[in-house]
Structure 1
Amino acid sequence: MAERNWMEHRSYVLTVIFFIAAATGICWLFRLLHFPETNLVVVYILSVLLTARFTKGYIYGIAATVIAICTFNYFFTEPYYTLSVNDPTYFVTFGIMTVTSIITSALTTKVKQNALEAREKEAEASALYQLTSHLTDAADISDIAAITIKTISDILNCRAACLCFDESGQPEQCFIQQKNAKEQTRRNVADKEVLRHRMENLKTAYYAGEEFYDWPIYGREAILGILRIPNEAAERMSDAQLRLLRSMMESTALAMDRFRSAQERILSKEEIAQERYRSNLLRAISHDLRTPLSGIMGTSEMLMGMTDQEDGRYALAEDIYKDADWLHSLVENILGLTRLQDSRLVLNKQMEAVEEVISVAVMAIGKRAPEREIAVHIPDSVMLVPMDAKLIDQVLVNLLDNAVKHTPPEGEISVTVIENKEEEAAVFTVADRGMGIAPVDLSHVFQMFYTTHEKGADSQRGVGLGLAICESIVKAHGGTISAQNRRGGGAEFTFTLPLEVEKNDK
């Protein structure tokens, strides 16, 4: 770059010398032909004008003006071949020459600069239009990179390259490079991690490597790729080319962002469609299973009533009833899941007595496990809470069912309700003395379809829906739900319900 500037400066100096020398030669001829002195002045002014035309910047025009005046004084004013002046009127001539030369030089330089800027902007606009018009037809990220390096290589007359990053922000194994005017090639990246770390911690606009100058292509959220310009081409780039390169990188980043956004929308639509099909299938199966399950439960219960408990057929009918009841509970959870996913869960809040809601849940569990005892602790006075009783009953049944499954027959199971006056909420707690919840599973138990590897909550004979539905129902009421292990063993699930009805719920 420094060598090129020196060569350019040398060329302009020679241009100044040439035009002044040519003007001097012409003036010698004019003097031999006895032309008026004013013609000589005009010739020197013309030399200054031509110097401004064929050089860049004001400095050469001003230098040509000074040299032209000194040369005119030295060769064509008395006393000759000195810089002295006998006739004071020549100072007026020199002043007029200086002002005229500087003005014409400045005007010429300004016009030339404006013309140059106009051509640069026209070339920039044309190149950007060409790039963006081709990018609209790109099929993927690699195609965008290929179009970009082809355009940049043509403009900079180099073999540009581009390395794309994937959706996770990692560089790809290969980068695309322009091999010739019609062919591109792929080259392996030596060390992706070093390159990624270098770009993420870059403090300047680019990184100058052994072979390439690397410019990161920034998207809305992360680095989308790296534009690689060979060192020779990068070092000889002008300011106008550098501006054009940055504009092209911005256009490339927009195209990559737009493509990724389109891909995300497509994937999102596919996921929504799959989720809708799954929900419809679950809903249809659940509705079809409801009726026969109710029939199986009723028939098995009737057989139990008609059979002596010591008869082997009683145990068989009891097992049928329990399995059918479990399936019925699973079907209800699946239907609740589909309603939640379709946003069709409508709350019918009424002021309900806590004692009655808990009684219904305990009775439901009593039918499934009549041998289990559940301790209930509620306030002595009647406690009314705004809730959808049917849905809260489903929450309590799911929590109690988990407690029964994971607590030994002699283990304690309890339901406790207290009033938190500070937060104006009713606090429900279902506790047991079972095996508790593994620490690794504690933060995931409310996730949909999550089942623990150990014998923790909601993992036996389940698909991981019960606790997820409990969380959705409680949150729909404006409350919170949490799980923790108890001292001495066992698990404890706590959920809260606001005591005051929100205005938008009235």
Structure 2
Amino acid sequence: MKIKSLLTGVHRKEAVKMAENTRDEQRSYVLTIILFIAAATGICWLFRFLRFPETNIVVVYILSVLLTARFTRGYAYGIAATVIATCMFNYFFTEPYFTLSVNDPTYFVTFGIMTVTSIITSALTTKVKQNALEAREKEAEASALYQLTSHLSDAADISDIAAITVKTISDILNCRAACLCFDENGQPEQSFIQQKNSNEQLRRNVDDKEALLLRMENLRTAYDVGAEFYDWPIYGRETMLGILRIPNEAAEQMSDAQLRLLRSMLESAALAMDSFRSAQERIKSREEIAQERYRSNLLRAISHDLRTPLSGIMGTSEMLMGMTDPKDSRYALAEGIYKDADWLHSLVENILGLTRLQDSRLVLNKQMEAVEEVIGVAVMAIGKRAPEREIMVHIPDTVMLVPMDAKLIDQVLVNLLDNAIKHTPPAGEISITVRENIEEGVAVFTVADRGTGIASVDISHIFQMFYTTHGKEADSQRGVGLGLAICESIIKAHVGTISAKNRKNGGAEFTFTLPLEAENHD
């Protein structure tokens, strides 16, 4: 209600002021008509005394109408001057004198020609004057816009764009304009720039950002009227970029031409801000791409350098285990070396798979593979890492053939089983289930466990790259968040889906699907 009453008071004050200006202008134009007609009448009395022809008197009155049109605005005053001049010529210079009657009917022709000539010349003069005024306004507008855009091209950031816009508009409107910029999230900044004088600017804090933002979001007109400023929004392609603030006194006196110029300047400022933000986003994107490429190259180089020594460590430790009595303490040392080297080797394979995926060098070699054979290879591989664990396998009784890249699907199953082992106690259940969904035309693979489950904060992020869970690990070796991300990429490359959820009685369940029919584009 307070804002509404304030707006009503401002609009009433503005209407009263405009009415007063209109009355003053009308009085001045009426005095102009009286002055020129009176001067013309005086000159015509002189011509009559000197016995000049009546045509000279008519020409003088036409000249007074022309001068009236020149120094007034609009067609109405020229037409009024025409009627008055015709009546004055009839009253003072046609018989019978000092009356509006006419003895000689030919004077009606004279009156008509005089009226038509005066109206045409008045209209032409008014039209020429309006065209000249519009040309000057457009020239001033073009000059101001050129001045603004030329300075905006040198702006270093958003604040610099706002400062240049405020300076230019303040000089044109002769006021202390201001500009409040918005951040990348569409929220107003804490302070805004205002022109203090012709050479100095200052920063002022925003009293209530939330209320200001709410008013601008609910704006239904071109601007919002506040206690101190008229606020014009600066709209970008997607969000609001800022607010241009014009003091109330200057905004109330703005003409239509100045309003048009202000809108054009707002568009120029919005274009400059949009261009700057787009350039910043492109630079940021290039930097991220360069960082990602550097990281991929570094990971690839490290992985290749670690692969060979890890294979040697695994082979040597396995030989030492075979040459040592399991009851000997040295056997446990060799076994620990083997497990740690195997874990590192698995991590290196995941890193290499990640780099291949990022470089789009992952090529599928799809063949019709028997599901039991693929699962058997994965279970055998995980059995070497955790021979004490028992994994239950449930597959159809009949041979089930699925088009897939067996090596990559083995990697998916190994990663899922390894993840289940890490999060499941030694006595916990781990199972693999495969079934055929004829309706959807897919084979459904499920890896389930009875471990700690997935924390609610992790479910939506668990397939993100380099994301690790917040729960406690069953294994001392903690992953780096690549296994599940690689699984998702491989399954998507097979045009399948993968998901994770918690089981009702505890534990986690990972499910992925593979199409039963090979796609032609594969």
TM-score range, shorter chain: over 0.9
Determine if the alignment matches structure 1 residue 334 to structure 2 residue 357.
no
Residue in structure 2 matching 1:169, options 186, 189, 195 = 186
Residue in 2 aligned with 1:349?
A: 366
Residue in structure 1 matching 2:134, options 95, 117, 125 = 117
Shift of 1:7: 2.6
TM-score by length of 1: 0.96
Output the CA distance in 2 between the equivalents of 1:370 and 1:127: 81
Residues 277, 377 of structure 1: alpha-carbon distance in 2 compared, 3 angstrom cutoff: same
Shift of 1:352: 1.4
Which aligned pairs between 1:257-272 and structure 2 lie closer than 5 A? 257-272=274-289
Contact 1:458 1:466 in 2 (8 A): no
Output the CA distance in 2 between the equivalents of 1:324 and 1:477: 31
Which aligned pairs between 1:309-328 and structure 2 lie closer than 5 A? 309-328=326-345
Output the CA distance in 2 between the equivalents of 1:420 and 1:459: 38
Shift of 1:339: 1.4
Shift of 1:371: 1.3
Residues 457, 126 of structure 1: alpha-carbon distance in 2 compared, 3 angstrom cutoff: farther
Shift of 1:88: 2.6
Determine if the alignment matches structure 1 residue 74 to structure 2 residue 96.
no
Contact 2:422 2:473 in 1 (8 A): no
Output the CA distance in 1 between the equivalents of 2:515 and 2:480: 30
Output the CA distance in 1 between the equivalents of 2:323 and 2:476: 35
Residue in structure 2 matching 1:152, options 148, 154, 169 = 169
Q: What SS is found at the alignment partner of 1:504? A: coil
Contact 1:402 1:458 in 2 (8 A): no
Which residue identity does 1:125 align to in structure 2?
A
Contact 2:145 2:264 in 1 (8 A): yes
Determine if the alignment matches structure 1 residue 48 to structure 2 residue 60.
no
Residue in 2 aligned with 1:232?
A: 249
Output the CA distance in 2 between the equivalents of 1:429 and 1:14: 97
Contact 1:437 1:456 in 2 (8 A): no
Shift of 1:129: 1.1
Q: Which moved more, 1:320-329 or 1:70-79?
A: 70-79
Residue in 1 aligned with 2:5?
A: none
Which aligned pairs between 1:9-48 and structure 2 lie closer than 5 A? 9-48=26-65
Output the CA distance in 1 between the equivalents of 2:184 and 2:28: 51
Residues 248, 173 of structure 1: alpha-carbon distance in 2 compared, 3 angstrom cutoff: same
Q: Which moved more, 1:354-363 or 1:10-19?
A: 10-19
Residue in 2 aligned with 1:484?
A: 501
Determine if the alignment matches structure 1 residue 136 to structure 2 residue 182.
no
Output the CA distance in 2 between the equivalents of 1:4 and 1:136: 40
Contact 1:438 1:456 in 2 (8 A): no
Contact 2:425 2:474 in 1 (8 A): no
Output the CA distance in 1 between the equivalents of 2:189 and 2:357: 40
Residue in structure 2 matching 1:398, options 396, 415, 425 = 415
Residue in 1 aligned with 2:319?
A: 302
Output the CA distance in 2 between the equivalents of 1:439 and 1:247: 52
Residues 115, 279 of structure 1: alpha-carbon distance in 2 compared, 3 angstrom cutoff: same
Contact 1:426 1:498 in 2 (8 A): yes
Shift of 1:89: 2.4
Residue in 1 aligned with 2:221?
A: 204
Q: Which moved more, 1:114-123 or 1:467-476?
A: 114-123
Contact 1:219 1:254 in 2 (8 A): yes
Shift of 1:301: 1.4
Output the CA distance in 1 between the equivalents of 2:406 and 2:475: 23
Residues 454, 392 of structure 1: alpha-carbon distance in 2 compared, 3 angstrom cutoff: same
Map Cα deviations across residues 5-26 of structure 1 (whole Å, 9 max, x no partner): 3332322222222111111111
Q: Structure 1: state its 5+ residue gaps.
A: none
Determine if the alignment matches structure 1 residue 287 to structure 2 residue 304.
yes
Q: What SS is found at the alignment partner of 1:179? A: strand
Shift of 1:79: 2.9
Q: Structure 2: state its 5+ residue gaps.
A: 1-16
Residue in 2 aligned with 1:60?
A: 77
Which residue identity does 1:280 align to in structure 2?
N
Shift of 1:245: 0.9
Output the CA distance in 2 between the equivalents of 1:41 and 1:253: 58
Map Cα deviations across residues 235-259 of structure 1 (whole Å, 9 max, x no partner): 1111111111111111111111111
Map Cα deviations across residues 256-300 of structure 1 (whole Å, 9 max, x no partner): 111111111111111111111111111111111111111111111
Output the CA distance in 2 between the equivalents of 1:455 and 1:89: 116
Map Cα deviations across residues 115-163 of structure 1 (whole Å, 9 max, x no partner): 1111111111111111111111111111111111111112111121111
Q: What SS is found at the alignment partner of 1:340? A: helix
Map Cα deviations across residues 289-314 of structure 1 (whole Å, 9 max, x no partner): 11111111111111211222222222
Output the CA distance in 1 between the equivalents of 2:93 and 2:384: 127
Output the CA distance in 1 between the equivalents of 2:202 and 2:474: 56
Q: What SS is found at the alignment partner of 1:121? A: helix
Which residue identity does 2:274 align to in structure 1?
D
Output the CA distance in 1 between the equivalents of 2:193 and 2:293: 41
Residue in structure 1 matching 2:480, options 446, 460, 463 = 463
Q: What SS is found at the alignment partner of 1:317? A: helix
Residues 490, 197 of structure 1: alpha-carbon distance in 2 compared, 3 angstrom cutoff: same
Residues 195, 456 of structure 1: alpha-carbon distance in 2 compared, 3 angstrom cutoff: farther
Shift of 1:475: 0.6
Output the CA distance in 1 between the equivalents of 2:352 and 2:141: 61
Map Cα deviations across residues 329-378 of structure 1 (whole Å, 9 max, x no partner): 11111111111122221212222111111111000111111111111111
Which residue identity does 2:276 align to in structure 1?
F
Which residue identity does 1:100 align to in structure 2?
T
Q: Which moved more, 1:183-192 or 1:364-373?
A: 183-192
Map Cα deviations across residues 448-478 of structure 1 (whole Å, 9 max, x no partner): 1111212479996111111111001111111
Output the CA distance in 2 between the equivalents of 1:182 and 1:43: 53
- Percent identity over the alignment? 87
Output the CA distance in 2 between the equivalents of 1:329 and 1:266: 36
Aligned-pair RMSD on alpha carbons? Answer: 1.7
Residues 21, 460 of structure 1: alpha-carbon distance in 2 compared, 3 angstrom cutoff: farther
Shift of 1:75: 2.2
